[in-house]
Chains A and B, each alone.
Chain A
């Protein structure tokens, strides 16, 4: 039991840490209709750190370079989206494809770097150790406090760089798919009337459930967690819809108690 806890606790804490900020970010992403910004930003961060490594930068400097490229890319995307709001999905999609292709070319020239890089895009939640989480653990409370006191600013001009910073720190820990699902699935629960508490709860249960399954059946943890989160969030949406039908007059906020 103790050994299980030791193996599963760091991934669980990492997942909940990412969830804490990404629920709020995800709500914004859904509201703005910029679903794939997550993938574009992750690609930019990976590209930045790879290019820095090829220029001979150290490990921590290359992480910073990745964040720098992700944040500046997100600023640019934000600018374009404001200029051409109707073409936003097209712009984000093209940035994603472009960054991914430059990354492939850079890797073809130097696959040796690919080994070192493989973790930054395909980060695996099971490998996460306590020191790995430190930067995100420091940034997340700052983000949550700012959201509370400077919400207008964060939801306005500061959204894109802030989003890029948190996502580029989360993807090396959890991997691109799990970050995407943590960003979108609970936010979808909120948007479909489940309420923020219910969304938080169903995603947390998803993490707990997914990690237990991965442990018991010895399945790769990342993919198992993605499916577990999808399942618990789908169940929560179904439950809140059901509750909504039974008491049509009740507002969506109250139905959060249905989980």
Chain B
């Protein structure tokens, strides 16, 4: 009864208040930016173009993508050419002036947060390296906070009526994030100085932040699928250095990592490179909690 009455009261109250402006529409290229958007603009309608099991380099063209970008007030993408294969065509087809590159409504995080691995020029045959640097920067929790600051500013720009709310939400989140950073740093202490084998540069930012050393990449060159010769050349190195694990991301085929694991006895660890609401990884902090749990659960980390 109590519950009913409070609901009725809320309904009455909202009817008396002046009509709220339409909720802001956020289009995220990757799930991590959708998660961040939902945290910094709780009332916004947020959609993500890709999910954790998709390689964000490539994407299937579905009609709803065009419709969703058309409705968007703000689009947020990693940038650094990660979406170069599909976003320009999508922007053109959606014909939404608010989210064209260069507008306040189009935020490329790599343009406002410094990337690692930038190159003056990409030498021929270097592989899938972006001169703009490694685009997977959301896996550094410090950089994620910078991205949050940039996103909050853009939200205030495209939806000035709620600028105050966005600012308050950001400050609250940023403060809590600072506390989490401390916790994570302490928890991750056993991982510092450990070694790891990777497949692609997806988690490079995380390894840097954790102080974990990458001793080998299953890909002979970035973006080039592992070749038998390259894998065979890794066996002796991996046996000698005894890394913590062979890590690949959820969207990658585990075959190559398992091949190397069978020959060296090093465990394989599949990690999510982004949030995945279906697996309980809704907010950004849940992703980092999960990543740390998984890494600390490895036999060599105890």
Q: Tell me if chain B binds chain A.
A: yes
Q: Is B70 an interface residue (CB 8 A)?
A: yes
Flag B116-143 by CB within 8 Å of A: 1 or 0 each.
0000001011111110000000000000
Q: Is B168 an interface residue (CB 8 A)?
A: no
Inter-subunit contact A115/B57 (CB<8 Å): yes
Inter-subunit contact A218/B223 (CB<8 Å): no
Query: CA of A7 to CA of B93 in the docked complex: distance in angstroms?
Result: 7
CB distance from B231 to the nearest CB of A (A): 15
**A221 touching B93 in the complex, CB below 8 Å, given contacts A7-B67, A112-B223:** no
State which of A7, A110, A126 has its C-beta within 8 Å of the C-beta of B125: A110
State which of A10, A110, A119 has its C-beta within 8 Å of the C-beta of B124: A110
Inter-subunit contact B64/A218 (CB<8 Å): yes
Q: Is A34 an interface residue (CB 8 A)?
A: no
Q: Is A100 an interface residue (CB 8 A)?
A: no
Flag B59-83 by CB within 8 Å of A: 1 or 0 each.
0111110110010000000000100
Q: Is B188 an interface residue (CB 8 A)?
A: no
Q: Is A109 an interface residue (CB 8 A)?
A: yes
Instruction: Pick out which of these stretches binds chain A: B6-14, B37-45, B84-92, B97-105.
Output: B84-92
Inter-subunit contact A3/B128 (CB<8 Å): no
| Contact-residue bracket for chain B | 20 to 34
The B interface, classified by DSSP as helix, strand, loop or mixed, is loop
CB distance from A47 to the nearest CB of B (A): 17
| In the complex, chain A residues whose CB is within 8 Å of the CB of B63 | 7-8, 126, 214-215, 218, 221
Query: CA of A111 to CA of B222 in the docked complex: distance in angstroms?
Result: 8
User: Which residue of B is nearest A216, CB measured?
Assistant: B63
CB distance from A65 to the nearest CB of B (A): 17
Query: CA of A114 to CA of B58 in the docked complex: distance in angstroms?
Result: 11
Q: Is A219 an interface residue (CB 8 A)?
A: yes
Query: CA of A116 to CA of B93 in the docked complex: distance in angstroms?
Result: 18
| In the complex, chain B residues whose CB is within 8 Å of the CB of A219 | 62
Q: Is B224 an interface residue (CB 8 A)?
A: yes
**A221 touching B90 in the complex, CB below 8 Å, given contacts A110-B125, A112-B128, A119-B85:** no
Inter-subunit contact A111/B62 (CB<8 Å): no
| In the complex, chain B residues whose CB is within 8 Å of the CB of A126 | 61-63, 66, 93
| In the complex, chain B residues whose CB is within 8 Å of the CB of A115 | 57, 81, 84-85, 128
Number of A interface residues at 8 Å Cβ cutoff, please give it.
28
Q: Is A33 an interface residue (CB 8 A)?
A: no
CB distance from A221 to the nearest CB of B (A): 6
Query: CA of A126 to CA of B126 in the docked complex: distance in angstroms?
Result: 32
Query: CA of A100 to CA of B66 in the docked complex: distance in angstroms?
Result: 32
User: Which residue of A is nearest B86, CB measured?
Assistant: A127
Inter-subunit contact A112/B89 (CB<8 Å): no
| In the complex, chain A residues whose CB is within 8 Å of the CB of B167 | none
CB distance from B55 to the nearest CB of A (A): 12
Inter-subunit contact B127/A118 (CB<8 Å): no
Inter-subunit contact A111/B64 (CB<8 Å): no
CB distance from B97 to the nearest CB of A (A): 14
Q: Is B162 an interface residue (CB 8 A)?
A: no
Flag A112-131 by CB within 8 Å of B: 1 or 0 each.
10111011000011110100
CB distance from B20 to the nearest CB of A (A): 24
Task: Identify the interface centre among A6, A119, A126, A219: most chain B CB within 10 Å of its CB.
Answer: A126
Q: Is B51 an interface residue (CB 8 A)?
A: no
| In the complex, chain A residues whose CB is within 8 Å of the CB of B222 | 111
Query: CA of A119 to CA of B85 in the docked complex: distance in angstroms?
Result: 8
Query: CA of A181 to CA of B120 in the docked complex: distance in angstroms?
Result: 44
Q: Is B221 an interface residue (CB 8 A)?
A: yes
| In the complex, chain A residues whose CB is within 8 Å of the CB of B93 | 7, 10, 126-127, 129
Query: CA of A7 to CA of B66 in the docked complex: distance in angstroms?
Result: 7
CB distance from B80 to the nearest CB of A (A): 12
CB distance from B71 to the nearest CB of A (A): 9
Q: List 12 additional A-B contacts (Cβ < 8 Å) besides A108-B224, A118-B58.
A: A3-B67, A10-B93, A54-B124, A109-B125, A112-B223, A115-B81, A118-B85, A119-B89, A127-B86, A127-B93, A219-B62, A220-B62
Which residues of chain B have a CB within 8 Å of any CB of chain A? 57-58, 60-64, 66-67, 70, 81, 84-86, 89-90, 92-93, 95, 122, 124-130, 221-224
Could you list 20 A-B pairs, sorted by A, with CB under 8 Å? A110-B124, A111-B224, A112-B127, A112-B128, A112-B223, A114-B128, A115-B57, A115-B81, A115-B84, A115-B85, A115-B128, A124-B89, A126-B61, A126-B62, A127-B86, A129-B93, A218-B63, A220-B62, A221-B62, A221-B63
